[in-house]
Amino acid sequence: MPGEFVDFGDFVQATLPGLLRYGHALTGNPHDAADLVQTVLEKIGSRWTYVHEKTGDPLAYVRRSMANAHVSRWRRTRRENLVADLPDTSPHVPADPFEHEPLWRALRTLPPRQRAVMVLRYYEGLSEAEIAGVLGITQGTVKSQASKAIASLRMKLKSVDGEGEGSGAG
């Protein structure tokens, strides 16, 4: 696939569904995913000739850019913003269909890099070498982040299973 798309429009048309899925798994909701994909594709589009000719794999470059942009956004927005007055009403937010899915909830609690590794490995089906290339980290880091994420997910899902079993026996 690396040399397949010469035209940026063809590249976007072919890869957009996968990029939106990847963005959804990274951000936790489809709206932030669409914003993330749009932001990254805007930046890539203006530099498409360079990306296509110099990177070797534009899709890996876009995925890495998405992961980096997500981590940057997460770092910027996690800071606390103090306001003088609380708003009178809360806006209506549609329910997330995965809100009560234990694995999805546990995945959202992982740190951004661990979540990116898990999504690329098990949702997109990339190898450790491909993940390392996409995220710009070593294969050893991919392995350690995946190991930590799996251990964390096991603990969280084990506690959810334990709560569910004990609540029905009363």
Say if residue 67 is in the same domain as residue 138: no
User: Does 124 have pLDDT greater than 80?
Assistant: yes
Q: How much is the pLDDT for 169? A: 44
Dihedral angle sign, alpha carbons of residues 142, 144, 147, 150: negative
Say if residue 2 is in the same domain as residue 76: yes
- Residue range(s) defining the domain that contains residue 58: 1-82
Measure the CA angle with vertex 131, ends 156 and 101; round to 5°: 30
The answer to whether the predicted template modeling score (pTM) of the entire model surpasses 0.75 is no
Beta-carbon count within 10 A of 110 CB: 19
Dihedral angle sign, alpha carbons of residues 155, 157, 162, 167: positive
How long a stretch of residues is the chain? 170
Say if residue 78 is in the same domain as residue 2: yes
Considering its fold, how many domains does the chain have in total? Answer: 2
Q: Report pLDDT digits (tens) over 71-112.
A: 887 776 666 566 666 666 666 666 666 667 888 888 888 998
Q: Which range has the worst mean pLDDT, 63-77, 113-127, 152-166? A: 152-166
Residue 134 neighbours by CB under 8 Å, 6+ apart: 60, 63, 64, 67, 120, 126
